[in-house]
Each structure stands twice: as C-alpha cells, then as structure tokens.
Structure 1
C-alpha cells in the first residue's frame, strides 16, 4: 500500500490560486495594493494561455506531492521471537598478525582467519542478538547486542590489528561484556572470547572478572587461536617453532570452567568452527513478538515528473516552440 508521511502539506495545493487572486484583485478606482506582491501585469499568471496555466498547476501539484513524502509500505514481517544473546570479544593485539593459519591452502595471519570464520558464524545466527567487543591494551564496545548481523560483520571486517593497542586486556573484555549483559533481563548471556595470548594489560584480573561473570550467570566460551608448530627460515636453515608459546591455555580453560563454558583450541579453521555446534545446543530464550513493515520512499517520482513539467513549460516559452504550438492549435479553433 502507499501512504503519505506528511499529509498536512496538501494544504499548500490552493496557494498559487489564492496568490493569483490576491495579485489581480481589483477595486473601484484602481488595483488593490498588496505589500510584497508585484503589480506588473506582464508577468501575471493570468496572462499565460490556459494550456500553460495547466502545466504550472501540474508542476505545483507534483512538487507538493513530493514534499508530502509518499511511501510504499509492505506487509508486516515478524521478527524471530526466540534467540540467544551472544557477545563476541576479539583480540586485536600485535601477535594476531602472525601468519601461522591456513584458509583454503593459503597461509594467512590469525586475525584474517578469525574474520573469515567469525563472519560466517555471525551470518548463521538468525534470530540471535550479536554484540562485538574489540580489545588489546583496553576493551571497547564496537557493536551493542543487535539483530543486525550485517552491521556487526561489517564492523569486524573493518577492524585492524593494533587499532586499540598491542597488548592483551582479557580481564577488561570480560568485565565489559558482563556490564552489557546486566541490561538484559531474559538472556542466555554468552560471551565468546577469542585470543592468542595471555592477559598482560588492563587493571582487571581475568579470573576475578570470570568469577563476577559466573555470579551474573554469564557463560564464557574461550578460544585459543594459533598453530602449535610453524616452520621458519634462519641462517642455519629451517627450524620448527611453537608460535603459540604465549598462549595461556590453562587460564583460558579455568575461565571457561568457572562460568560453565568450554575452552576450544583453534589451530585451524575446522577447529574454530566447532564452536558452532556448542552454541547451537543452547536453548533459545523467548522474547516478545516484534514485527516491522518494509518501507520505500517514492517522493523522487513526482519530483522527477515536476522537473520534466518545468522543462515542458520552458520549451513552450521559446519562440520556435510557441509558434509551432500556435499553428497546431489554429486548425482546432477553425474546426470549432
């Protein structure tokens, strides 16, 4: 159906008629002098031909219709009434740029793998509310809990390593998520924390933050990112090293256990995707049924027609076109 957002602008439709009447009102002994209104008869609206006056009226009506903001309103679409509340915390410390992960046979850094897998994870969360926290030296809320999965995925895509520092403030990320969940009465309260290191920044201890999260019924799924073995070239040839030596798996596992969550070791994309199955097992929480009606603005159609009408009027004022139109009109008048 078509609706008009500002119908009161339709009151402007008779304005040119009233203006023309006032401009050409006559009294005995001369014209009625109205301040601010030209008294030159040559530019009077009434001096135009009836055909030109109709074009002016058409253009004015189209402009008023465009100002009224017509819209097309679709049928109501119900939003999912059940879902989960998931906050995703992503580590942006300097070590996330280590290239020890593989996507489709191509070696990439850890953050690229997280972007690839987590973006797909966000896309699958239909009906869930997703939030995004980025942390390094400190933790920052990049996106609050929302069902707009596309925007959250875009925020993650635009994030860059080192954007909020070089270190790792795991405790602050947990505390920030707990704070955001406090506003939710009925919620699963799930935090997915992805990191490749240990807590070495911030003023909050991760274990203490996890204990607070457990008291607030927040479940934390921790994910340790990074390969266990990586080859690198040296002056003496190739050597095998452990690029995840800084990863504190013991602490991450302890945080998950305190909150009745799970710890995942993500050495590759397949292991990182295991978190899908664990999240899908959570019981969705019922919410109030919400709906929305898609809308599309239509004002540009009457606006475009008004522009074409103005060009039509302008062409009619040219001598060449005016003579041609008079010749076309003369046979009709003779027939009458």
Structure 2
C-alpha cells in the first residue's frame, strides 16, 4: 500500500485556488487615452488566444500538484518480514560417500537410496527452520562448505537437492566435517551453535579424527545431533537366491553416540523415511524455533515519479512554446 511520510503537506494542494479566488484590486480608473477602434478579430483567433492563456495555467497547476505530491514523500509499504530476535546457527553436515547410494530406504511406499530419502525429508526440515541461520557441509574424502550461514532457507534446500554422490570421493571424513563446522561457527560468538551430522558409515578418511574434532566442538560449546542412516535388514539377490543382509554393518554408532552425548546432544537412528521424519520433529522440540519474532515492513521511496513527471511536462511545454514562436517568425 502507498503511504506518505509527511501527509500534512498535501494541505498545500489547493493553495493556487486560494490565490486565484483572492479579491482582485479595483483598477477601473478613468485615464486619458487615445481610443482606437477595436479591430474585428475572427472566431478562430479568439479561440487560439484563449487556449494560449489557459495552457500556462494548466501546466503550472499540474507541476504544482506533482511537486506537492513529491514533497509529501510517497512510499510503498511492503509486506511484513519476520526478523529473528535470537541468534541460532545450525550447520547441517551431509555424508556423500559411496554407501549413500544403497537402496534400502522406504519413502512413501517406495524403495529409494539413502541420499534421495535424505533430500526429501531433510528438505522439509530446512523449510520449517524459520529464524535460524543455516549452513550446509558436504563431506566424503574431504569436507567442504556448500552453503555458508544464511537465513535463505530456499538456497540451502536447493544446494542440498543439487548435491550428487561421488562429488568429493567415496570415503567418509566425519572428523573433517566436524572440524569445518567448528571453524565456521567460530566467526560468530553469541549464538546457539548446533551441528546436525548425518552419515551412514564410519570415519575412513580425513585429516583429523572424530575424537580430535570432538575436543574442538566441546571447546567451542557446539551441540552435535548425530543421525545414523541405513536399514537393519535388506534382501539381496545372488546366484544362490535371495539372502538377508545388514546394509548398515559399517555404521559406527558408538562414535556417533559419543559425539552427541559429550556435547549435550543426542544420537538418532534412521532406518527409513518415517524414522527420519520423526527425528526431525523431535529436533524441532529440542531446538525450538523462536516464537516471539519482530517484524519489519520495507519502504520504497516513490517521490521521484511525480518529480520526473513534473520535469517532463515542463520540458514538453517549453519545447512546444518555442516551436510555435519559431514557426510564427
């Protein structure tokens, strides 16, 4: 909607009419003059003169109205935007190792691989984290920052959806992922620092071990919530028929549990899409969203529109007047 910063200036709009209606000074005085017979002028000349007398008045009136409108500072008041009142930072570290392609997850009645399930369910969780600054780390042989800390949840979700297996190798560098998160968290001191670590294996690569990374996380007061991904049972076909296997045999639950508990967090086990959804709902309770948020409505100045229109009208009238005078000569 349109508002005015100084609406009281709009009271100046009828000022030209007040000046026009002021009583005029009496000039009916008899003076000696040479009376000349009035020439008879044609009807078209009379109309031209009347029009030429009205044109400046119309132009001045329009320019006055536009000038007063600009002085009143018209503004466009945008929709309300929520501003978080509490500084919470949540880093999400996603495993992109080769084992994430195992198709042992059930999502909406379909069998999908671990990464695709994670993209769908984690994407919904990201959309709900209104007011949090989110960051995204992808790790395999190495860990790298895919999305720095931002309030733009849409971008974080998009970067997650665009991630592909094998992008940074086939192994699992859990320690490097935690270390990178600690480094990024350190840039902002006053915040609730939460690391959401999602993996389906154990630490098999990287420059630092999970134990070393844990010490860094404790020193920086970072809470780790770890999630172990993978089903307990999977039917596998072979030459000798179908057999039941445990696709999550390499999941290091002991280390993931220690990482979470020693930092004040919690370890979760996600065996399918339903488990993952319930975990994220529980995380919403453990790390609740800020309820009392401030709001702001962005203002966009519009005064330059009436100013520009007034200048265009004045310029057009000036050019038209000079053009007519030039043709008369």
Q: TM > 0.5 between the two?
A: yes
Alignment correspondent of 2:83: 79
Is contact 1:187-1:285 (8 Å) kept?
no
1:101-112 superposed matches below 5 A: 101-112=105-116
Residues 293 and 197 of structure 1, relative CA distance in 2, 3 Å threshold: same
> Alpha-carbon deviation of 1:144?
1.5
Is contact 2:131-2:289 (8 Å) kept?
no
> Alpha-carbon deviation of 1:172?
0.5
Is contact 2:131-2:290 (8 Å) kept?
no
* Match for residue 276 of structure 1 among 281, 288, 300: 281
Structure 1 unaligned residues grouped into runs of 5+? 4-69, 302-336
Alignment correspondent of 1:194: 198
Q: CA RMSD in A?
A: 4.1
Q: Does 1:225 align with 2:233?
A: no
Is contact 1:221-1:263 (8 Å) kept?
yes
Alignment correspondent of 2:209: 205
1:157-187 CA-partner distances (Å, limit 9, x unpaired): 1111111111111001000111111122221
Residues 82 and 231 of structure 1, relative CA distance in 2, 3 Å threshold: same
> Which secondary structure state, in structure 2, belongs to the residue aligned with residue 191 of structure 1?
strand
1:76-155 superposed matches below 5 A: 77-82=81-86, 84-155=88-159
* Match for residue 175 of structure 1 among 175, 179, 182: 179
1:43-82 superposed matches below 5 A: 72=76, 74=78, 77-82=81-86
Alignment correspondent of 1:237: 241
* Match for residue 166 of structure 1 among 164, 167, 170: 170
Higher mean alpha-carbon deviation, 191-200 vs 262-271, is at 262-271
> Alpha-carbon deviation of 1:271?
1.9
Structure 2 unaligned residues grouped into runs of 5+? 5-73, 306-329
TM-score (norm 1): 0.65
> Which secondary structure state, in structure 2, belongs to the residue aligned with residue 88 of structure 1?
strand
| Runs of 4+ displaced beyond 3 Å | 70-73, 75-78, 282-287, 289-298
> Alpha-carbon deviation of 1:276?
2.8
In 1, Cα distance between equivalents of 2:131 and 2:99:
34
1:62-109 CA-partner distances (Å, limit 9, x unpaired): xxxxxxxx9955266341213632110000111100000011110000
In 2, Cα distance between equivalents of 1:71 and 1:114:
45
Alignment correspondent of 2:317: none
In 1, Cα distance between equivalents of 2:191 and 2:110:
39
Q: How many residues align?
A: 258
In 2, Cα distance between equivalents of 1:267 and 1:93:
18
